[in-house]
Structure 1
Amino acid sequence: MNRRAFALTFGLGLAALASPQAAWAEDHLAEAVRHTKAAVDHGKQGQAEVLVTHAESALTHAEAAQKGVYNIHVEQGVSHLKAAIAEGKKSNAQGATEHAAEALTHLEAAKKK
């Protein structure tokens, strides 16, 4: 009987740990999407510096979400956010916006799964 109680307790503990991790990843993903949208909006206005600020925040959240649950779309989003930041730092608002928009497409796809 002790083994059964231990197994049940252990199983419930693992389930409790896994569930908040997924919710935690979803929260980070939602924040990544929010900041990426802001980056795209500012990029369309030619504001490369502001785009970089939002893209860096989005990247932080996307990488945190990536640690919680692996998703190919999050991985692609991270890649495009890094490219958006690099282009934005070169004051290339158009190129940065294109990468941020692509990142947004992937991050939103990841949210749907």
Structure 2
Amino acid sequence: MNRRNFALALGLGVAAFVAPRVALAEDHVAEAISHTKEAINHGKQGHADVLVTHAESALTHAEAAQKGAYNLHVEQGASHLKAAIAEGKKANAQGATAHASEALTHLEAAKAKAKK
């Protein structure tokens, strides 16, 4: 096998390995966004306990997305989700909603970056 064929085969192999992980990460970001929106909706209604449930699900998806493909916005979103969970567990729906809203901003930025 000459060098060109070897390089082509190697490149295709790497692409075949990486592409599914990137696509899976995008799916997790979309799920994290969906759960974060639900958390915000419940937080606005004063349902801190339900906000925590959705924020925890969003965090699970954000962390899974990070394993697939690192993104600074996802990391920052996850950080705000953790803060939202902490505030929600204190029954501070307003503070938790503020953090969840900030998380949503970062997660949506991550999704927009992935589409480029």
Q: Which TM class, normalised by the smaller chain length?
A: over 0.9
Superposition TM-score, scaled by structure 2 size: 0.91
1:19 maps to 19
Identity of aligned residues (%): 78
- For 2:110 and 2:11, the matched residues in 1 are separated by 28
Equivalences, count: 113
- Residue identity opposite 1:95 in structure 2: G
- For 1:3 and 1:108, the matched residues in 2 are separated by 42
Matches within 5 A, 1:68-79: 68-79=68-79
**Which consecutive residues of structure 1, in runs of 5 or more, have no partner in the other structure?**
none
**Which consecutive residues of structure 2, in runs of 5 or more, have no partner in the other structure?**
none
Superposition TM-score, scaled by structure 1 size: 0.94
The alpha carbon displacement at 1:101 in A equals 0.5
- For 1:95 and 1:3, the matched residues in 2 are separated by 59
Deviations 1:64-89 (A, max 9, x none): 11111221111110000000000000
2:33 maps to 33
- For 1:2 and 1:73, the matched residues in 2 are separated by 42
> What do you get for the CA RMSD once the two structures are aligned?
1.2
